């Protein structure tokens, strides 16, 4: 990926120009998976193994999500609309809804997160020099 340096407030900062999809993959999706795994285990009584199998993950990944090693970089639980989507997805998993339908619902959630500027805020956190007010890529 293209890297460049900027001189800001006396600091030479090197950063990458990351695409929104990179931010989704690196930060957002792990946080959503962590949220889902946590609900399956703590609220629905799933074991780590059962949650992992239901989500198409390894037990080790689920363990890392629960321990906060992966996926808790951003607070999604405080957003009521995101919580509603997650609850729907958890219920779909518990009811053995086909994976294609769960994927569709998760994608709806990602579109919502983009359109509401939540991904922009996360992107700004990762790349402070990014001018999210001028960007607008996620809201198109």
Residue 98: exposure state from Cβ atoms within 10 A (0-12, 13-18, ≥19): exposed
Question: What is the pLDDT tens value at each position of the chain, 140 positions in all?
Answer: 334 444 444 444 455 678 888 889 988 999 999 999 999 999 999 999 999 999 999 999 999 999 988 765 677 778 899 999 999 999 999 999 999 999 999 999 999 999 998 888 888 888 888 787 777 777 76
Radius of gyration over every alpha carbon of the chain, rounded to an integer in angstroms:
17
Q: From the CB of residue 36, how many other CB atoms can be counted at a distance below 10 Å?
A: 24
SS3 8: strand
């Amino acid at each position: 990926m293209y890297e460049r340096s900027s001189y800001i407030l006396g600091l030479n900062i090197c950063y990458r120009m990351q695409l929104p999809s990179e931010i989704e993959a690196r930060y957002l999706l792990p946080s959503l998976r962590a949220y889902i795994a946590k609900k399956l285990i703590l609220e629905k009584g799933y074991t780590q193994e059962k949650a992992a199998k239901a989500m198409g993950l390894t037990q080790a990944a689920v363990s890392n999500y629960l321990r906060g090693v992966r996926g808790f970089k951003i607070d999604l639980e405080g957003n009521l609309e995101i919580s509603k989507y997650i609850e729907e997805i958890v219920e779909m998993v518990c009811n053995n809804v086909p994976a294609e339908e769960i994927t569709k619902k998760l994608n709806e959630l990602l579109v919502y997160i983009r359109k509401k500027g939540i991904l922009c805020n996360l992107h700004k956190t990762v790349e402070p020099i990014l001018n999210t007010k001028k960007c607008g890529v996620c809201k198109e």
